[in-house]
Chains A and B, each alone.
Chain A
Amino acid sequence: MSAILAVESLSKAFGGLMAVTDVSFEVREGEIFGLIGPNGAGKTTLFNMLTGLAKPTAGTVHFLGQDISGKAPAAIALMGLARTFQNIRLFGGMSVLDNVRVPRHALDGASLWGGVFGSASSRRREREALAQARALVELVGLGGRMDTPAASLPYGDRRRLEIARALALSPKVLLLDEPAAGMNHAEKQDLSRFIRDIRDRFGLTVLLIEHNVPMVMGLCRSVAVLNFGQLIAKGEPEAVQADPAVIEAYLGVAADA
């Protein structure tokens, strides 16, 4: 089983502060991989390095066998690495449908001028892209609100729309940054089902940042735990859950330590 995403000795320093220190792990194709850790452990910084928003201070990221650690975010996105944000970042003024159509513009290789004087074939591609965008909006249950401005959606719908927008890139790997934040128990179960469903439907690999340990344990077959920027455990969820270092990070020092 080959790794679709391989992180090797990745570090990020902000001035003197090490946000991420020498982190290595591999994500295998088709799995749902969990990245957990307390607040400020460096999880989002790690995502930012994977997607090109932050340049690593040291280390490499291999995606589909290619070193992407120096690439621009747009290039990495077009290779098939998509993400959502902990604090949702939709284009608030655009409609639900337009939000999902934004990534297609990049995928169709649209130059700034090409689409303005559209040929018959580009118009056909446009129609297909539109149909695909509608299907994605329907998939996340927003079919009745295609033309609603994204900013006026309720919180849970905005989360789902952000996932639909990421899926519009036709990604191979989807990074979800705390997708269950602010959800109640039933909503979390719905979300878990949804993540499994899209993984199977689109043949995705999912890398998930999550605080909610039961959700991660139910969803993932491999997890990695970050604390103060360092990888303190990785492996199967049951083993990781029993690891003393993990218990310490989450619950404080164990009573008999």
Chain B
Amino acid sequence: MPLAWFLQNLVNGLSIGSVYAVFALGYTLVFSVLGILNFAHAAVFTLGAYLTYVLAVGEFGLNGLLAGATMPFKLPFALALLAGAVLSGLAGMAVEYLAFRPLRKRGADALLALVSSLGVALILVNLIQYLFGAEIYSFPPDVLGSLPPAILFHVGEGMVAMRTIQAVLFGVSLLLLIGLVWFIQFTKQGKALRAVAENPDTASLLGISVDTFTLGTFFLSGLLGGMSGTLIGVSFGLSGPYFGVAYGLKALAVIVLGGLGSIPGTVLGGLVIGLAEAFLPPELSSYKEAVAYALLFAVLLARPQGLLGKSAEEKV
């Protein structure tokens, strides 16, 4: 029984933790290039979930401007996920154009960009509410097609259930993580991106257009945000236009826990928080939202730079 209990929590923790990691990587990418947190990322996450819902289900809700409208087509889930993510990537680029670039060009303080990204986040979320309404959207149970809802494994005396959606969460997240690391480590563009992240001035003097790569970073970030929004949405439903806020706070805990600007740190942070939530005893489950921050405070006491972050001295 303990082994089954352990494995069950491991499955739960890894699947949700990997999505946290993907979502939080969107913050990390922008942070490592601009040194700023993009608060509009959680709104892009929300937008991605709504867009995929509409593309896959083909219908809008009962209130909001688009109430009762139907789409002329429905995409299979995998395609809708991809299209929703690409549209979210474009939304990420719009955030760079509207909230970050104009301020950067005028040499504004980083804090101002942070506030303007918060403004864009509010506008996006209100736009979602205006168009889609404030109601709960739930993906229909058959959105993944005719797959069985869960697979059961017998472990000794006990049973471990892997829900199909958990497998999808974990599989898609893993693919995204591998793809991203490959892109950054092994492609020319990834190397140029690392150069921009390490020192934008020097990169520009070597002929790399910092603006183009910043825009590309926002696209990737939005793509990851929209993708993770959809995955969370399929798993737990879309509880309203503000459903990204709680996950955004959690992702902030993930990136600080892992070490600001560190990609391996972000992945580790996501998995640690996912697992910690999963292993929380059921009688404490109403305090789940506090786990991420409790863990964060505990780790920061011992390692102020986060799990895999570089200390301030090393960075200089």
Assembly CA distance A72 to B187 (angstroms): 25
The answer on a CB contact under 8 Å between A105 and B189 is yes
Q: What is the distance, in angstroms, from A133's C-beta to the closest C-beta of chain B?
A: 11
Q: What is the distance, in angstroms, from B195's C-beta to the closest C-beta of chain A?
A: 5
The answer on a CB contact under 8 Å between B195 and A74 is no
From A51, A101, A112, A126, contact of B205 by CB (8 A): A51
The answer on a CB contact under 8 Å between B191 and A78 is no
Is B198 in the interface zone, CB < 8 Å from A? yes
Per-residue 0/1 for B117-152: is the Cβ within 8 Å of any A Cβ (1 yes, 0 no)? 000000000000000000000000000000000000
The answer on a CB contact under 8 Å between B206 and A115 is no
Is B216 in the interface zone, CB < 8 Å from A? yes
Assembly CA distance A94 to B185 (angstroms): 10
Contact A112 B207, CB 8 Å, known A94-B194, A105-B189: no
| B206 neighbours in A (Cβ, 8 Å) | 77, 82, 102-103, 106, 165, 168-169
The answer on a CB contact under 8 Å between A73 and B205 is yes
The answer on a CB contact under 8 Å between B191 and A53 is no
Which B168-214 residues have C-beta < 8 A from chain A? 183, 187-189, 191-192, 194-195, 198-199, 201-210, 212-213
Assembly CA distance A233 to B207 (angstroms): 33
Q: What is the distance, in angstroms, from A49's C-beta to the closest C-beta of chain B?
A: 13
Is A83 in the interface zone, CB < 8 Å from B? yes
Assembly CA distance A53 to B207 (angstroms): 12
| B216 neighbours in A (Cβ, 8 Å) | 112
Assembly CA distance A143 to B288 (angstroms): 55
Q: What is the distance, in angstroms, from B217's C-beta to the closest C-beta of chain A?
A: 9
The 4 closest A-B pairs by CB, nearest first: A106-B207, A73-B204, A77-B207, A112-B216
The answer on a CB contact under 8 Å between B213 and A112 is yes
The answer on a CB contact under 8 Å between A83 and B205 is yes
What are 9 sample pairs from A and B whose C-beta atoms fall under 8 A apart? Answer: A74-B205, A78-B207, A85-B202, A89-B201, A105-B189, A105-B192, A108-B188, A113-B189, A116-B187
From A91, A98, A126, A168, contact of B202 by CB (8 A): A91
Assembly CA distance A94 to B208 (angstroms): 16
Assembly CA distance A112 to B187 (angstroms): 10
Q: State how many residues of chain B have any CB contact under 8 Å with chain A.
A: 23
Q: Which single residue of chain B is at the shortest CB-CB distance from A77? A: B207
Contact A105 B208, CB 8 Å, known A92-B198, A112-B216: yes
Q: Which single residue of chain A is at the shortest CB-CB distance from B220? A: A112
Assembly CA distance A113 to B183 (angstroms): 10
| B183 neighbours in A (Cβ, 8 Å) | 116
Which B208-258 residues have C-beta < 8 A from chain A? 208-210, 212-213, 216
Q: Which single residue of chain A is at the shortest CB-CB distance from B193? A: A112
Q: State how many residues of chain A have any CB contact under 8 Å with chain B.
A: 34
From A74, A85, A115, contact of B209 by CB (8 A): A74
| A107 neighbours in B (Cβ, 8 Å) | 207
Is A93 in the interface zone, CB < 8 Å from B? yes
Assembly CA distance A74 to B187 (angstroms): 20
| A126 neighbours in B (Cβ, 8 Å) | 188
Assembly CA distance A72 to B198 (angstroms): 19
Assembly CA distance A91 to B193 (angstroms): 12
Is A13 in the interface zone, CB < 8 Å from B? no
| A72 neighbours in B (Cβ, 8 Å) | 204, 209
The answer on a CB contact under 8 Å between A105 and B204 is no
Per-residue 0/1 for A86-99: is the Cβ within 8 Å of any B Cβ (1 yes, 0 no)? 00010111100010
Q: What is the distance, in angstroms, from A45's C-beta to the closest C-beta of chain B?
A: 14
Per-residue 0/1 for A55-85: is the Cβ within 8 Å of any B Cβ (1 yes, 0 no)? 0000000000000000011100110001101
| A74 neighbours in B (Cβ, 8 Å) | 204-205, 207-210
Contact A91 B205, CB 8 Å, known A74-B210, A116-B183: no
Assembly CA distance A121 to B204 (angstroms): 26
Apart from A74-B208, A116-B187, 12 more pairs, CB < 8 Å = A53-B204, A78-B207, A83-B205, A89-B202, A91-B194, A102-B206, A103-B207, A110-B192, A112-B189, A112-B213, A112-B216, A116-B189
Assembly CA distance A169 to B212 (angstroms): 19
| A104 neighbours in B (Cβ, 8 Å) | 188
Assembly CA distance A82 to B202 (angstroms): 11
The answer on a CB contact under 8 Å between B191 and A105 is yes
| A106 neighbours in B (Cβ, 8 Å) | 192, 206-209
Assembly CA distance A113 to B209 (angstroms): 14
Contact A82 B205, CB 8 Å, known A105-B189, A112-B216, A116-B187: yes
Q: Which single residue of chain A is at the shortest CB-CB distance from B203? A: A102
The answer on a CB contact under 8 Å between A115 and B210 is no
Assembly CA distance A155 to B187 (angstroms): 29
Which A105-138 residues have C-beta < 8 A from chain B? 105-108, 110, 112-113, 115-116, 126
